[in-house]
Chains A and B, each alone.
Chain A
Amino acid sequence: MIETKALTKTIGEKMILRGVNLKVNKGEAVAVLGTNGAGKSTWLKIVAGLLKPSSGEIFLKGQPRKKDDFEQQKVLGYLGHQSFLYDAFSPVENLKFFARLYHISSPDTRINKLIEDVGLAYFKHEPVRSFSRGMIQRLAIARAILHKPEILLLDEPHTGLDQQAVSLFNRLLLDLKAEGVTIIMVTHDFQQISTVCDRAVVLRKGRIAEDELIRGRPVSWIHSLYEGEAATL
């Protein structure tokens, strides 16, 4: 579904990615782990089309990633550190704007369902500027999946969510996974990884250091993998 071959990224004199080879299959849920500065978010941004790689190749559904291939762009849903939402607009107005960008015809039913799913139905006509961090994150999640993407790229999606919102979001992700959506999640939250993901990839200093299937293993094992101590199968 997604493959990066010998992907490198240099910013200034610093080499952020040093030849990342990673293949993610359709329907997989993969967690990308690593310490701060390991290159996780950079890799995700390159796949999303927000950054250009210095060298290397990206394949999406077997085809080389092209900047002007908008059909490729349409299969991706991206949730970054920022919400991309407009403070002056209500959830409905924000999602209507993104629906226009994604050429979704008659989006009202979809928008209302998503707002309901993320638990913001009561606030759907309130301006986003009055929302808490968690509410904004819920709406940002709705924005990312508005166009029913085949691949979901999530950069620390659980940040700012309360326990109720975390379980609601995980349920949403598991439903999407059951529908065959490929999920790639950059995160530091090991508990959520064990709930949602099938596979964990650890980046260290811009290289893939570990790539293991989780297979119902405990959170402590993921922690060991992160630290580089896990016994591989």
Chain B
Amino acid sequence: MKHLLAPALAIARKDLYAEWKTKQTITTMLIFSGLVIVTFSFAFDPSNQAVSALVPGMIWVITIFAGILGLNRSFTTEKQHDHLHGMMVAPVDPSGIYIGKFLANLVFVLLVQVVSIPLLFLLFDFQVPAYSSILYFLLIIFLGTFGFIAVGTLLAALASHAKSSEMLLPILLFPLVTPVIIAAVQATRLVLTEQEGAAAALSWMQLMGAYDVIFFAAGFLLFEYVLEV
């Protein structure tokens, strides 16, 4: 564990501190999510009740596309001066690098969601049907984002070996994250638009939970081989 968790935390801390200093990734992600929200708020009339049905889908559109911006940078910046080799020559378990990058990416996307989702609700004048569903909503956001980042971190590392990694990542990512995105959108829709939606969303949440466990374990075990490519 000494060679797994301690380096993982050091890598996550390094990424967050680098972002705190440069503000390159998070700014791009926030600008993108802001543009999506503003564009949609002008395209659709927020006073129309039918427009509320778009909100769950928009939350995940923002998460996916802003997330891809962050994931792309996550490993391309590490290639600049062979930083990954710097980690590999240290007594660090390759899975520790995966966990570290995963944690940093997860924090970036959650931060974008913390800013963009309230803004989305505000501009669309969106009312949550019951306060009890807020807790379920937060859990769905976490489960969906966890799965998306677990797969995204592994594939971003793989794509970073290619010359056109920014093009390759979405191509690799979309087929694999489709199940978790479908589950996340459905669960979010049920919780946000239906009075008794929480119970109905439970099976989707279980699907997301299973997906998260399987793909986090896959990333953890396969990352070593991705580094060797």
Contact = CB atoms under 8 A, between A and B. Distances in A.
Interface of A: 48-50, 52, 68, 70-71, 73-74, 76, 78, 80-89, 93, 97-98, 100-103, 143
Contacts of A100: 6-7, 10, 13
A135 B7 CA distance: 27
B14 A97 contact: yes
A87 B86 contact: no
A73 B90 contact: yes
A74 B91 contact: yes
Nearest to A99: B10
Contact of A86 (B2, B10, B18, B228): B18
Contact-size category for B: 20 to 34
Contacts of A80: 82, 85
B81 A82 contact: yes
B91 A50 contact: no
6 contacts: A48-B89, A70-B93, A87-B81, A89-B17, A100-B13, A101-B10
Contacts of B2: 70, 103
Given A74-B91, A88-B21, A50 B6 contact: no
Given A82-B82, A84-B82, A101 B18 contact: no
B80 interface: yes
Contact of B91 (A82, A86, A103): A103
Given A81-B82, A83-B81, A100-B7, 18 more contacts: A49-B88, A49-B89, A70-B91, A82-B81, A84-B81, A84-B82, A84-B85, A86-B18, A86-B81, A88-B21, A88-B22, A93-B17, A97-B10, A97-B14, A100-B10, A101-B10, A101-B87, A101-B90
Contacts of B90: 73, 98, 101-102
Interface of B: 2-3, 6-7, 10, 13-14, 17-18, 21-22, 80-83, 85-93, 228
Given A70-B93, A78-B89, A84 B83 contact: yes
B7 A101 contact: yes
A84 B86 contact: yes
A154 B226 CA distance: 26
Contacts of B87: 101
Contacts of A70: 2-3, 91-93
Contacts of B81: 82-87
Contact of B85 (A68, A74, A82): A82
A179 to B, nearest CB: 21
A102 B91 contact: yes
B6 A103 contact: yes
